[in-house]
Amino acid sequence: MRQPVLWLRWIALSGVLLVLYLSHRAVVSPMSKALRSGTPVVVAVMGTDLAEKSPHSDTLMVAVYHPRGGRLDLLSIPRDTKIDLRGYRFRRINEVFAYHFAQTGDAHVAAIHVCEAVGEMFEGTGVDLKPAYYVQVDFNGFRRMLDRLGGVTITVDEPMDYDDQAGSFHVHLTTGVHHLDGERALGFVRFRGKSGDRGRILRQMEFVHAVVDRLVSPAIVWRGPQALWEAGRAVQTNVSFLDMVFFSMEARRITSRRLNTVLLPGRPRGAVWEMDPDRTAYVLRQLAGGASGGVGTEDVPSPMNVIVSTTTAVVLPGPSTDPDAGKTTVKVWNASGRAGLAIQVVRQLRAAGFDVVEWGNYSGRQKKSRAIDRSGRFDRAGLVAESLGLTSLYSDVDPGLRYDVDVVLGEDFNKQ
């Protein structure tokens, strides 16, 4: 009888030691400390191509997780963003990973340099937002992880037909709802088309929302362990295994409604994306300080691309256009091709208590309806979207506009 008792003691002792070790790690781990204290956790997320000797960071995002609210902000940095790093002659930020990988052959070293480049790029804004962690995955790993998840459901709003034999890139998708496997999902997020890089980033943001919806769906219960195992094979990261465990316990709080997608403020200038330092500083303060933020990429109405009806459009003067006022201020733009739709929606929003300050016709048709946060008060935009039954919600913060939300009514609005 002594041998079974001895084994039980060893099992009990091992369990106690494991608990003590995990408790110790929870105390000393920087990520665990941040999660307990409510300090935002900043991670650079990189998707790299399959160039053998010098892969480029085809996708770059900065993820900021806020433990106190369970909210995740994703700042999307266009791959052609112009940079001027001390000691280097890089022109675009996607060259950083490629250069350091070619020099060292080490993805870890290359990813750390990308984190440092992001921090240096933001120095001029006066906001310290340097990623402490990174997650890097190449195209093959992306395909495998999506297949393990069972794919995602996406609405395609423009035809996608493109073949690049040299780069082994092929995408053929019609407009409408599709359930995409890993191969077709990769084509969806890489395709540029008529909308260029801004449209591509918008699709990437919608894709992230679709993945989060998939992760919280009941179907993932059976696929979750396989997806985690595949992620372990596909992802390069400096986040330790135990920190992944600690974070995964937190990540259960993240839903699509708590995910804010943010585009680096700026504008295209030739072949590069030029960051707007003032607007970027405003957005970074939102992210670092925990205010609701997020930026979408669809072009929003401006005097250059909107035809305002002279018989119906008005701008209400005074405090109602101040985003600090009590009511949420909204502008409504009809991009559906249906006459009179804007005024119908104006009446609906005003009846719901929103302050519609202007409305009119968009310069061209849009397939998809969306609400776009303009003031950094993401919750206000969320209420407008919920009132209209819109599922596409992004934030393109510009404090100079002095109102809260743009609503673009697309051809799908009659289906809402």
Are 261 and 76 contacting, i.e. CB atoms less than 8 angstroms apart? yes
More confident residue, 303 or 184: 184
Confidence (pLDDT) at 126: 85
74: left (phi over 0), alpha (psi -120 to 50) or beta: beta
Q: What is the DSSP string of 2-13?
A: HHHHHHHHHHHH
| Model confidence pLDDT, tens digit, residues 10-41 | 666 565 555 545 554 555 577 777 777 788 88
Strands (E), 26-159: 41-48, 57-66, 71-76, 133-138, 152-156
- Report the alpha-carbon distance of residue 386 to residue 92 in Å, rounded: 38
What's the mean pLDDT when you consider all of the chain?
Answer: 79
Which of these ranges, 73-82, 152-161, 254-263, has the smallest mean pLDDT? 254-263
Percentages (nearest 5) of helix, strand, coil residues in the chain: 45, 25, 35
- Dihedral sign for Cα 393, 395, 396, 402, please: positive
Does the pLDDT of residue 315 top 70, yes or no? no
Give kind and range of the element (H or E) at residue 126. none
Residue 398 has, within 13 A of its CA and on its CB side, a CA count of 17
Does the pLDDT of residue 7 top 90, yes or no? no
Using 50, 70 and 90 to split pLDDT, how confident is the model at 223?
A: low
Please choose, from the candidates 85, 86, 90, the residue with its C-alpha nearest in 3D space to the C-alpha of residue 57.
Answer: 90
Q: Outline which parts of the chain fall under CATH 3.30.70.2390.
A: 306-415
Does the pLDDT of residue 163 top 90, yes or no? no
CA dihedral 38, 124, 208, 47 (to 10 degrees): -110
Instruction: List, in sequence order, every residue forming a beta bridge with 405; answer none if it has no partner.
Output: 330, 373
Give kind and range of the element (H or E) at residue 39. none
Which of these ranges, 197-201, 222-226, 257-261, has the smallest mean pLDDT? 222-226
Confidence (pLDDT) at 221: 63
| Model confidence pLDDT, tens digit, residues 106-144 | 999 999 999 999 999 998 888 888 899 999 988 888 888
Which of these ranges, 241-245, 265-269, 404-408, has the smallest mean pLDDT? 241-245
Are 288 and 127 contacting, i.e. CB atoms less than 8 angstroms apart? yes
Q: Supply the DSSP symbol for 52.
A: S
Q: Outline which parts of the chain fall under CATH 3.40.630.190.
A: 37-289
Which CATH superfamily groups domain 37-289?
Answer: LCP protein (3.40.630.190)
Does the pLDDT of residue 156 top 70, yes or no? yes
Are 397 and 318 contacting, i.e. CB atoms less than 8 angstroms apart? no
Burial 51-62 (b: 16+ CB within 10 A, else e): eeebbbbbbbbb
Global pTM value: 0.78
Confidence (pLDDT) at 166: 60
CATH numeric code, 306-415: 3.30.70.2390
- Measured CA to CA in angstroms, residue 1 lies from 5, 8, 144, 393 at distances of 7, 11, 50, 66
Confidence (pLDDT) at 10: 62
Which of these ranges, 39-48, 129-138, 197-206, 354-363, has the smallest mean pLDDT? 197-206
Amino acid sitting at position 214: R
- Measured CA to CA in angstroms, residue 236 lies from 135, 147, 215 at distances of 6, 19, 21
